[in-house]
Copies of this chain bind each other. A is one copy, B any other.
Amino acid sequence: MINKDLEILKSWNDEDSKRAILDFLRTAEVKGPDYIKPEDRIATFDNDGTLWVEKPVAVWFDFMFKAFYKAAIDDPFLAHLEPYNAILENDQDYISKIVDQNPEALLSLEKALAHAWGGKTPDEFDKEVSDFISTAKHADFQVSYTKLIYKPMLELFELLHEHQYRVFVCSGGGRDFMRSIAESTLGIFKENIIGTAAEYEYKNGELIRINKVLGGISLGPGKVEHIFATTGRYPVFAVGNSDGDIEMLDISRFKLIINHDDSDREYSYTDGAENVLNNAEEKGYTILSMKNDWKQIF
Interface residues in A217-237 by Cβ distance below 8 A to B read: 221-222, 224-225, 228-233
Whether the pair B190, A231 counts as a contact (CB closer than 8 A) is: yes
- A89 at the binding interface (Cβ < 8 Å): no
Binds B, one of A9-17, A64-72, A197-205, A261-269: A197-205
Residues A221 and B200 in contact in the complex (CB < 8 Å), given A191-B166, A233-B190: no
How many Å from the CB of A213 to the closest CB on chain B? 11
Closest to A183 in B: B39
Q: How many Å lie between the Cα of A199 and that of B183 in the bound state?
A: 28
Output the nearest chain B residue to A122 by Cβ-Cβ distance. B228
Q: Which of B39, B191, B229 contacts A232 (CB 8 A)?
A: B191
A245 interfacial by beta-carbon distance below 8 Å:
no
Q: Is A250 an interface residue (CB 8 A)?
A: yes
Task: Give the copy number.
Answer: 2
Within 8 Å of chain B (Cβ to Cβ): is A193? yes
Q: Is the CB of B202 within 8 A of A229?
A: no
* A247 contacts partner chain B, Cβ-Cβ < 8 Å: yes
Contact of A207 with B by CB under 8 A: yes
Which B residues are CB-close (under 8 A) to A202?
221-222, 224-225, 228, 247
A236 CB to closest chain B CB, in angstroms? 14
Interface residue A106 (Cβ < 8 Å from any Cβ of B)? no
Residue A189 lies at the interface, judged by CB distance under 8 Å to chain B = yes
- Given known contacts A191-B231, A231-B191, A225 and B247 CB-to-CB distance under 8 angstroms: no
Chain A residues near B (Cβ < 8 Å):
39, 122, 166, 176, 179, 183, 189-191, 193, 197, 199-203, 205, 207, 214-215, 221-222, 224-225, 228-233, 247, 250-251
